[in-house]
């Protein structure tokens, strides 16, 4: 089993979600929970971007001992210096610097030639490597960068002292085949690549972030970057819990694992949702309220007999107390009887059939039937058998 490092960027890329603004105290609270979850790196913010972000990176750096603490920095000396000031008290400080490399970004955003980009990468990675024990370099919009130029840029960054090369699919444009290929290409063409960590960083604009991250892992990525609940710019970043559970559930396919304490996932998800105000959709994989809920009678009957009939992950694995059998118009008699038992009533035979019939009629009339509704039906039946 290969161990894949988890780089959490909930506090940086995740905080870039429109409408999200975490206070320093909230960032520290999330960072401490991420440490409990067992992530390997925590990107605490972008120190040069504002005094508040500087203070948050510093505060996280002072509290976290078991994970590397990272600050983002543009490839300019002032940003790298600010990151160093914020991180110098960290047990394991790490710099993440980036420069866009795609033709679109070079022409319209940076107005830089390829030669200028290469020179800046060389100079700034070297500058950062003289201060930091670990330097990650990201060619922003790597996904839309010419392959030969990407190889050149990464070669320069590795030569200048980068210890991690991160390949961002910044706009979530690539397919799993295309993204996986980049990792094979770099492993094959960049001298000295075996000495550095290769990292995946996927956005979810086409809903492919998890598939792309898994493709990167299958093609040689040693680390992936993502956020809790998949929050982030636009459609978000890859959801850490999805990749971790795909690796865990399909070990035979990926032959790779994270060091995460999976039972901390539900707690971490709830905390991030509460503090960011970003609601987790009920059908969200792994952490949604319906991820372990069963409504149809056939499914409920199967799960009551043997959970693996309709559950590929046990809810306890990710820290939920149990699965949920939701009683509704699709529910069966078996689940209904079990639910009555949990409410303290052992109904059988004709009595059970009668209450079950009334329950189904009520489901057709009411959007949501509550336990109080069910208890009223039972009490009525017992009073007038």
Nearest CB to ligand KIV, comparing residues 102 and 276: 102
169 is a contact residue toward Zn ion (CB under 5 A): no
17 is a contact residue toward ligand KIV (CB under 6 A): no
Q: For residues 65 and 290, what is the distance between their CA atoms, to the nearest angstrom?
A: 35
Answer yes or no: is 203 a known binding residue: yes
Smallest distance from the beta carbon of 206 to ligand KIV, in angstroms?
Answer: 14
168 is a contact residue toward ligand KIV (CB under 6 A): yes
Answer yes or no: is 294 a known binding residue: no
Q: Which of 59, 96, 43, 30 is nearest to 278 (CA)?
A: 30
Give Cβ neighbours of residue 187 (< 8 Å, ≥ 6 apart): 193, 194, 198, 219, 220
Q: Which of 234, 235, 255, 233 is nearest to 246 (CA)?
A: 255
Q: Which stretch binds Zn ion (CB under 5 A): 10-18, 240-248, 251-259, 359-367?
A: 10-18
138 is a contact residue toward ligand KIV (CB under 6 A): yes
140 is a contact residue toward ligand KIV (CB under 6 A): yes
Smallest distance from the beta carbon of 176 to Zn ion, in angstroms?
Answer: 18
How many distinct helices (H) and strands (E) make up the chain?
Answer: 15, 12
Site string for ligand KIV, 44-83 (x = CB under 6 A): ----------------------------x-----------
Give Cβ neighbours of residue 24 (< 8 Å, ≥ 6 apart): 52, 55, 56, 59
141 is a contact residue toward Zn ion (CB under 5 A): no
Answer yes or no: is 339 a known binding residue: no
DSSP letter at 313 equals: S
Q: For residues 93 and 69, what is the distance between their CA atoms, to the nearest angstrom?
A: 5
Nearest CB to ligand KIV, comparing residues 39 and 347: 39
For 200, the token pair is 């995946």
Answer yes or no: is 212 a known binding residue: no
Q: For residues 326 and 293, what is the distance between their CA atoms, to the nearest angstrom?
A: 6
Q: Which stretch binds Zn ion (CB under 5 A): 11-19, 85-93, 259-267, 338-346?
A: 11-19
229 is a contact residue toward ligand KIV (CB under 6 A): no
Q: For residues 39 and 260, what is the distance between their CA atoms, to the nearest angstrom?
A: 6
| H/E stretch holding 374 | helix 371-383
Strand segments (E) across 46-87: 68-74
Smallest distance from the beta carbon of 170 to Zn ion, in angstroms?
Answer: 6
Find out whether 102 and 52 touch, Cβ atoms under 8 Å.
Answer: no
Which of 26, 37, 69, 98 lies at the binding interface for ligand KIV (CB under 6 A)?
98
Name which of ligand KIV, Zn ion, none residue 227 binds, using a CB cut-off of 5 to 8 Å depending on partner kind.
none
Residue 351: HSE in the Cβ half-sphere, 13 Å Cα cutoff: 15
Size, binding site for ligand KIV by CB under 6 A? 9
* Residue for token pair 């319209």: 108
13 is a contact residue toward Zn ion (CB under 5 A): yes
204 is a contact residue toward ligand KIV (CB under 6 A): no
C-alpha angle 246/313/329, rounded to 5°? 125
201 is a contact residue toward ligand KIV (CB under 6 A): yes
Size, binding site for Zn ion by CB under 5 A? 1
Q: Which residues are annotated as a binding site?
A: 13, 201, 203, 237
Interacting residue ranges for Zn ion, rule: CB under 5 A: 13
Q: Which residues are annotated as a binding site for Mn(2+)?
A: 13, 201, 203, 237
């Amino acid at each position: 089993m290969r161990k894949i490092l988890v780089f959490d960027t909930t506090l940086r890329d995740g905080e870039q979600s429109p409408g999200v603004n975490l206070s320093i105290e909230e960032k520290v609270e999330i960072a401490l929970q991420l440490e409990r979850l067992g992530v390997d790196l925590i990107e605490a913010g972008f120190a040069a971007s504002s005094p508040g972000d500087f203070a948050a990176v510093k505060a996280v750096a002072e509290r976290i001992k078991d994970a590397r603490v990272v600050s983002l920095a543009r490839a300019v000396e002032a940003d790298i210096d600010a990151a160093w000031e914020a991180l110098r008290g960290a047990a394991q400080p790490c710099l993440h610097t980036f420069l866009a490399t795609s033709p679109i970004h070079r022409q319209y955003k940076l107005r830089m030639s390829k030669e200028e980009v290469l020179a800046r990468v060389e100079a700034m990675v070297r500058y950062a490597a003289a201060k930091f024990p670990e330097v990650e370099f990201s060619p922003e919009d790597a996904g839309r960068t010419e392959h030969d130029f990407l190889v050149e840029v990464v070669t320069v960054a590795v030569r200048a002292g980068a210890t991690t090369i991160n390949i961002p699919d910044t706009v979530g444009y690539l397919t799993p085949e295309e993204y996986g290929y980049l990792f094979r290409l770099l492993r094959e063409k960049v001298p000295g690549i075996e000495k550095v960590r290769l990292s995946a960083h996927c956005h979810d604009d086409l809903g492919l972030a998890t598939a792309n991250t898994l493709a990167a892992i299958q093609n040689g990525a040693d680390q992936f970057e993502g956020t809790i609940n998949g929050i982030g710019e636009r459609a978000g970043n890859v959801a850490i819990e999805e990749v971790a559970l795909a690796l865990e559930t399909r070990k035979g396919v990926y032959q790779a694992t994270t060091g995460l304490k999976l039972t901390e996932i539900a707690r971490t998800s709830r905390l991030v949702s509460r503090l960011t105000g970003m609601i987790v959709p009920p059908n969200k994989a792994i952490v949604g309220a319906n991820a372990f809920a069963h409504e149809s009678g056939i499914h409920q009957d199967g799960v009551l007999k043997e959970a693996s009939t309709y559950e590929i992950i046990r809810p306890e694995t990710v820290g939920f107390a149990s699965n949920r059998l939701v009683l509704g118009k699709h529910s069966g008699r078996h689940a209904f009887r079990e639910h009555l038992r949990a409410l303290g009533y052992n109904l059988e035979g004709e009595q059970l059939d009668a209450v079950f019939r009334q329950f189904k009629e009520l489901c057709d009339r009411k959007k949501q039937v509550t336990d109080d509704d069910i208890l009223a039906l039972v009490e009525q039946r017992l009073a007038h058998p």
